Amino acid sequence: MIQAPALVDSHCHLDFPDFAGETDQIVARARAAGVTRMVTICTRLSSEPAVRAIAQAHEGVFYAAGTHPMNAATEPMATVEALVALAAHPKFVGIGETGLDYHYTADSAAAQKQSLALHIEAARQTGLPLIIHARDADRDMADILTAEHRNGAYSCVMHCFSSGAELARAALDLGFYLSMSGIATFPKSQELRDIFAAAPLDRILVETDSPYLAPVPRRGKRNEPAYTAHTAAKGAEVFGLTPAEFAAATTANFDRLFAKAASHG
């Protein structure tokens, strides 16, 4: 019997209150579903010790840290030095999530841009991938990422990509990756699926962003890393591949971008 290649949940939030007291079970269910590795994301640096502890406690769990754009105006401003120092940990594999969010927090755009620039510089200095959150800020996001890349290259994933085709093209032109979340499984997301279908397969990752955005058929429920398999099944359909082929491709993509996680252990 040929075993299907393992999946990776490239973005989840195992420290969030939704999972309190259940981390062991959440990780076990993920493994049972074929999700053998996951990256748990810290969204405010004050939470970094707790997120780090989760990664340290579980084989196959890695972590990244940064200041989420919706927290940029309320948390202390990150420093490049602090982010670079965190990268010394063997399971710290990415910078962020950072980015721009004008949906609820457009009034803090200046702080968000300042924070984003600091995270980009930390990504340059560490060689770790930048993890970008973008919502209702496509033009500014494309302009900043492109201008910063001219100032010095860095790698990046557009996490939970649900923006427009223009931002997708800008990101892909820079050599960045697009990450497919449960949103891509929603019935009304055909335009988003078309954007993914037009992208090179070797630039696609999968994620849950759990506990949010559970994919069909779990939509409306609490999301968790095990449900990466549902999003991956839709991704295989979008690219005209078998589930095993899509799993192998996205896992190879993850290992290329998150090389530190791939070489761990």
| 3-state SS string for the chain | CCCCCCEEEEEECCCCHHHCCCHHHHHHHHHHCCEEEEEEEECCHHHHHHHHHHHHHCCCEEEEECCCHHHCCCCCCCCHHHHHHHCCCCCEEEEEEEEEECCCCHHHHHHHHHHHHHHHHHHHHHCCCEEEEEECCHHHHHHHHHHHHHHCCCCEEECCCCCCHHHHHHHHHCCCEEEECHHHHCCCCHHHHHHHHCCCHHHEEECCCECCCCCCCCCCCCCCHHHHHHHHHHHHHHHCCCHHHHHHHHHHHHHHHCHHHHCCC
CB atoms within 10 A of CB 226: 23
Is 13 known as a binding-site position? yes
Is 159 known as a binding-site position? yes
Phi, psi dihedral angles at 205 (to 5 degrees): -115, 170
Is 209 known as a binding-site position? yes
Is 133 known as a binding-site position? yes
Tell me the binding residues for a divalent metal cation. Answer: 11, 13, 97, 133, 159, 209
Specify binding-site residues: 11, 13, 97, 133, 159, 209
